[in-house]
Amino acid sequence: MATLRRILTISIPPYHVMSMKNNARSMSFHKLKIALRSFWRSDKDAPVYGHICQVGDPVLRTQAMPVEPEIICTKDFQALLGHLKDVMKWYNAVGLAAPQIGLPWQIFAVEVTKSHLKSIPKEMRDAQGMEEIPFQVFINPTLRVTDYTVLRLPERCESIRGYSADVPRSKEVEVTALTEKGKSITWIAKGWSARIVQHEYDHLQGRVFTDIMDPKTFNCTAWNAINGCRGRIELKYIPK
């Protein structure tokens, strides 16, 4: 880490300045490399974050930029992917998109572990077609709906922490992307896996689940506990 910090000395402007000055499709490999080198900058208020940013942050409403494939195998980019994975593990999330840690680039990761599944009642797992997904990074993903059947099921997002809602999603999608090694991958995701992929893909388009949710099902996940302790409860924006 110390070595990385020594190597990565060039700073980038905040993402909102980047998005105004640099059109996503015209950003050169050179500029992208410079931007990447900043990611371990010492300024703790600047992206890339070690926490997950919350709705209201303009980065969550930005169309994410494509990643130049040439940069994927560089040490700096691999370190960035490692960081995304670390944050995702820390939050015990089943998916995380780069904009959620302040970086408006077209990258997301998904992983559903045995431990995730164990924490969910069997009836719910079966009803929603939940299955294990090995950790996988998707870079510059494109999505194609392969089954237009719409399922309306509860969803949460670490960027809208403390709330849930029923969200309509297509039952099956095909996602094509580059992997963390820069290889092309195509995956047909079904059921809950398809839901996770669509949720993360939406983050790269500047969308969050509240944009398409059934508004009447929008719930504070702690509403009952809040009554139980007469409002004396705190919502933390990092894991316990």
Q: Which residues have a catalytic role annotated?
A: 200
Instruction: Kindly state the tokens that stand for 31.
Output: 């500029």
Per-residue binder mask for Zn ion (CB under 5 A), 144-173, x = binder: -------------x----------------
**DSSP annotation of 65:** B
Q: Do residues 109 and 88 make contact, with C-beta atoms less than 8 angstroms apart? A: yes
Residue 46 phi/psi, 5-degree rounding, is -105, 150
Count of chain residues binding Zn ion (CB under 5 A): 1
Given the complex with Zn ion, which of 110 and 177 has the nearer CB atom?
110
Judge residue 235's burial from the number of C-beta atoms within 10 Å of its C-beta, 0-12 exposed, 13-18 middle, 19 or more buried. Answer: exposed
Helix/strand number for the chain, H first, E second: 8, 6
Q: How many CB atoms lie within 10 A of CB 232?
A: 7
Given the complex with Zn ion, which of 98 and 130 has the nearer CB atom?
98
* Contact between 196 and Zn ion per CB under 5 A: no
Given the complex with Zn ion, which of 137 and 157 has the nearer CB atom?
157
CB of 165 to Zn ion, least distance (A): 12
CB of 6 to Zn ion, least distance (A): 34
- Number of residue whose CB is nearest Zn ion: 157
CB of 208 to Zn ion, least distance (A): 6
Task: Report CA Rg, the chain.
Answer: 18
Instruction: Return residues touching Zn ion (CB under 5 A).
Output: 157
